[in-house]
Amino acid sequence: MRRAWDEVSYMALMSEQQLWSPYTLPDKGLLYTDENTQINMNPRYWLPGKPKNLPCVLYNRDGYSDQLCTAENQFICYNENPTYLHLRGLCDHSEIDRSYVLSFQENALVWIGAFKTVISYNTLKQRWEAFVQGSEVWAATNASYEGLLLGAHNWTIYNDRQCNSESFYDSILSMNSCTSYQFNCNDGGCIPLEYWCDNNFLNNSISCEDGSDELNCTYLHDLTGYNKNVIPIPNPFTELDFFIEILNIQDISALKRRIRVSFNLSMAWEEPRASFHGLWIEKSFNQINHAEQKLLWKPSIVFSNIILKELELLTKTEMIADCDLLLNYSQPDLSVLYNHYMYRNCSIFSTTVIR
């Protein structure tokens, strides 16, 4: 029976509690089998008053199709929990619903929100439109009808002044069925969170078909209210671990009273104000890129008794986010466009090679 709703075109059937499905009798000696229990299914007749000419699934030797129910025999599929899809990316205070089921009403597919939003396709304007009952808030997107609104699309949202003071604003929203353990691809697909941005480290075949899981592979998540000119902890002193590793001694001059060396300068400090996402158990993978390094506080390095010209030979600094991935993780709500594991109360490990 599971294959029935994978191949039926009216996916609205998934949102119903009871799905009445007729079928033609198989060849003599053959029986239908429930794919979940492997138990043979016996023919049943329609109960009085059912199914009242509603769309249903017809099975024959050529496969499944949808049509009005007129067949004599039938079986019932019971869906205990309707399948809800989520619209990610709306601001926290938006009146537009975030959870939907797909329904078939008046010969058209319609998204029914959990509270008061209905999303339908306007065939004249060739766009999807979302209307909030009892409110002036509405939204529209030019996504195709055939795509059923799945995946990430650019929306224009009107009169949603709880989120924006302007009469309208644009925002990318994503309709998907991904669970809390999955990353939502731009095309509406889902992959396990651990496979997000893994191509640089692992030879893995599990990826979004549109490649969207390998875009924007950065680990810094949120800097709301962050000030890089203020030390991480509001105390006179911030604990800082400091290490120097001599790499080689290049020159010693007694006459000039000078020694020239190459060394690694490593520092580590706690940074509870910033949050990170998508981190790896292998800490060396969690490198903060140089654009994001400029957004974070870091200790100032002051050298004395050193030639300034030599400081110009500093190589680039590597910074790594070091978090307890088991204790300090959480997950964003639906206002965040992409799902991730998020981490706070992390430490930053910085290494600079000085030559």
197: in domain:
no
The domain total for the chain is 3
- Of 44, 60, 78, the last residue of a domain is 78
Say if CB 22 and CB 58 are below 8 A apart: yes
The predicted-structure confidence for 174-213, as pLDDT tens digits, reads as follows: 999 998 889 999 999 998 888 888 876 666 667 888 888 8
* Mean pLDDT, range 230-243, rounded to an integer: 72
Do 141 and 96 sit in the same domain of this protein? yes
Sequence-ordered alpha helix ranges (H) in the chain: 2-7, 290-293, 308-311
pTM summary value: 0.65
Range with lowest mean pLDDT among 18-22, 135-139, 287-291, 326-330: 18-22
Do 112 and 232 sit in the same domain of this protein? no
Task: Please check the confidence at residue 119 and state whether its pLDDT lies above 80.
Answer: yes
Query: Which residues fall within 8 angstroms of residue 305, CB to CB, at 6 or more apart?
Result: none
Task: Please check the confidence at residue 317 and state whether its pLDDT lies above 50.
Answer: yes
Enclosing domain of residue 90: 85-177
209: in domain:
no
Check the CA dihedral 231-235-237-242 and report its sign: negative
Q: Which of 138, 127, 129 is nearest to 94 (CA)?
A: 138
Do 49 and 155 sit in the same domain of this protein? no
Q: Which two tokens stand for residue 183?
A: 């990353």
Task: Please check the confidence at residue 127 and state whether its pLDDT lies above 90.
Answer: yes
